[in-house]
Structure formats: C-alpha cells, structure tokens
Structure 1
C-alpha cells in the first residue's frame, strides 16, 4: 500500500524512532519528539548509505 499524506498525518510518535517505508529506498523517520524526516537509502560501491532528504512538513514560500 502506498504511503499517503493522510497516513503520515495520522501516525503518532512513539517512545522510539520508527520508519514508514514509501518505496525504492525512500522512508520517513518519525522521532519521539514528533519530527518527521525523509531519508533515501541507496547503495554505492557495495556500501549502504542513507541521505536525509527533506523535513516534513514542507514550508511553502
């Protein structure tokens, strides 16, 4: 099932950080304080890396 905006907003923080998996290495890390961070997991030269992509919610300019 795809990760939707309503599912992200309905998810409450827990005492430990946890991930909501989107697809193809993209996931949302939800911290105990309620902050939400997007990460992209990828492989390069046989090593696994995670790049922080953007904070949720996005602020519009």
Structure 2
C-alpha cells in the first residue's frame, strides 16, 4: 500500500518518534511534537548513512 498524502496527514504524533516507511530506504519520521521529516537510508563503502530532507508539501510516492 503506497504512502499517500492523506495517510500522512491523518497520522497523529505519539509519545515516541516513529517511522512511516515508503520504500527502498525512504521513510517519514514523525516526532512527538508533530514535526515530520523525510529520511533516506543508504549504504556507501559498507557503512550505513541517512540523508534528511527539509519539510515541505507531501506528495504521493
């Protein structure tokens, strides 16, 4: 099931941060204060990294 704009907007924050997974390492981290940040987890040279994107309008993935 794809991660849609309506699903993201309907998700309420919880007392602990949690992830909504989109696909292939892309996920949305929802913090207790309600902020939403996109992350991409990837591997380079046998190490795991995460890239963070600034907040913006949510689009269908």
Higher relative contact order (CA 8 A, sep 6+): 2
Deviating above 3 A after TM superposition, structure 1's stretches of 4 or more consecutive aligned residues are 56-61
Using the alignment, how far apart are the partners of 1:12 and 1:45 within structure 2?
A: 37
TM-score (structure 1 length as normaliser): 0.88
Aligned length: 61
TM-score (structure 2 length as normaliser): 0.88
Task: Flag structure 2 segments of 5+ consecutive residues without an equivalent.
Answer: none
Pick the structure with more strand per residue. 1
- Contact conserved, 2:4 with 2:59, CA < 8 A, in 1? no
- Contact conserved, 2:5 with 2:58, CA < 8 A, in 1? no
1:16 is displaced (CA, Å) by: 0.1
Task: Flag structure 1 segments of 5+ consecutive residues without an equivalent.
Answer: none
